[in-house]
């Protein structure tokens, strides 16, 4: 029997409104599910025929007709595609709860760049985290495609904004191009922050700085950086271990550094055969907005392309004469961990490196 032929029960009506509220929140980039059991009961109320799952007709009759914010047909189709993991044409409670905690459900009008803006993420990092090529940032995503945006990823994004990043020539969002921009309303919830240890927080800061610097951003370190990074000091002596740092940045968090990036960071910090160094060395590197760490085989010309700086000024700042530039020094691969000094931005030009 279809819902429109049934008396409208309070449970069905309340269930539809709660599911509609979850959908609207998710589509705004808010992912916290405060009461998972209540959400499960709400979805179970949509099962009007008692089959143990909700099929397309039940979704349409309840979510598309009842409540104050009924879903459009395309939204219902996307919900069904995203939640029907076993392909039986219906969604059971377990499938729905897995979906409610999975991430962002896309419509056919969504692109990765648009979702990144809604969810307060860097589009390139969001692409990497979901195995999507960067060249597809502006291509429409399939209806029902689920993008993974987890607690640690959102904390990473929040830290990125709190570091006061300025945008690159490819970033036009006002929230990212305004120095010291305030976090948006969909900042990580208290429960998300509590779920991450102090060591994870410190690693997230390192990840945020590294990925931002490597994308051509100019990250401004937050106040109290030394204290925030203190949990990386396992010895309690105010020092970092070479292998310990490498393990932390490659294993923790959901935006870990690749092997070549971790090697470059370690090489930049630990010169020669040193196995330990003061944690203040990492703090100094992260606080210097004009430093760029190169990975194995990169060239000066690659840095120019990423950072948008003048090649002659970059070469001169790093000890190369104009004659060397003309002789091809810009195309010579550099050792991993090479620290480049970038040209200082002129006053008032904070939207680019």
Tens of pLDDT, residue by residue over 181-230, are 333 444 555 555 554 567 777 888 888 888 888 888 777 777 788 888 88
Q: Which residues contact 250 (CB under 8 A, 6 or more apart)?
A: 256, 257, 258, 259, 262
Quote the pLDDT of residue 185.
44
The SS3 call for residue 152 is: helix
Say if CB 121 and CB 157 are below 8 A apart: yes
Q: Which residues contact 112 (CB under 8 A, 6 or more apart)?
A: 123, 126, 127, 130, 132, 136, 137, 138, 139, 141, 147
- Cα–Cα distance between 352 and 238 in angstroms, integer? 35
Is pTM beyond 0.85 here? no
Torsion angle of C-alpha atoms 292, 251, 281, 163, degrees rounded to 10: 60
Quote the pLDDT of residue 131.
83
Quote the pLDDT of residue 67.
59
- Cα–Cα distance between 138 and 92 in angstroms, integer? 33
Given a cut of 50, the residues of the chain with pLDDT beneath it are 1-10, 152, 162, 164-186, 195, 347-353
Say if CB 112 and CB 146 are below 8 A apart: no
29-58 per-position pLDDT tens digit: 777 666 677 888 888 878 777 787 888 888
Say if CB 16 and CB 62 are below 8 A apart: yes
Identify the helix (H) or strand (E) that includes residue 226. Answer: helix 225-229
Domain annotation for the chain: domains and CATH numbers: 3-101 (1.10.238.10), 112-148 (no CATH), 155-288 (no CATH), 292-341 (no CATH)
């Amino acid at each position: 029997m279809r819902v429109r032929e049934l008396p409208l029960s309070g449970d069905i009506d309340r269930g539809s409104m709660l599911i509609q509220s979850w959908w609207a929140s998710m589509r705004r980039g808010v992912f916290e599910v405060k009461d998972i059991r209540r959400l499960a009961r709400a979805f179970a109320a949509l099962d009007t025929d008692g089959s143990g799952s909700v099929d397309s007709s039940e979704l349409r009759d309840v979510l598309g007709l009842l409540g104050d914010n009924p879903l459009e047909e395309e939204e219902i189709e996307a919900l069904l595609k995203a939640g029907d993991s076993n392909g039986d044409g219906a969604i059971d409670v377990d499938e729905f709860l897995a979906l409610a905690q999975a991430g962002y459900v896309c419509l056919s009008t969504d692109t990765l760049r648009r979702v990144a803006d809604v969810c307060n993420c860097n589009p390139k990092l969001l692409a990497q985290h979901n195995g999507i090529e960067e060249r597809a940032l502006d291509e429409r995503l399939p209806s029902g495609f689920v993008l993974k945006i987890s607690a640690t990823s959102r904390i990473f994004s929040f830290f990125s904004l709190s570091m006061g990043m300025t945008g690159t020539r490819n970033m036009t969002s006002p929230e990212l191009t305004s120095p010291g921009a305030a976090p948006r309303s969909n900042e990580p919830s208290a429960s998300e922050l509590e779920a991450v240890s102090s060591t994870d927080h410190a690693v997230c800061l390192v990840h945020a700085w590294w990925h931002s610097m490597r994308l051509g951003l100019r990250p401004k370190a937050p106040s109290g950086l030394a204290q925030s990074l203190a949990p990386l000091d396992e010895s309690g002596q105010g020092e970092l271990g070479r292998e310990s740092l490498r393990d932390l940045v490659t294993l923790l968090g959901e935006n870990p550094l690749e092997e070549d990036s971790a090697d470059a960071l370690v090489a930049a910090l630990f010169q020669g055969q040193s196995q330990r160094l003061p944690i203040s060395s990492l703090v100094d590197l992260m606080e210097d907005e004009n430093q760029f760490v190169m990975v194995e085989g990169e060239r000066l010309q690659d840095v120019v392309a990423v950072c948008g700086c003048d090649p002659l000024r970059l070469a001169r700042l790093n000890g190369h004469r104009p004659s060397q530039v003309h002789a091809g020094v810009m195309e010579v691969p550099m050792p991993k961990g090479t620290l480049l000094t970038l040209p200082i931005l002129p006053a008032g030009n904070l939207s680019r490196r």
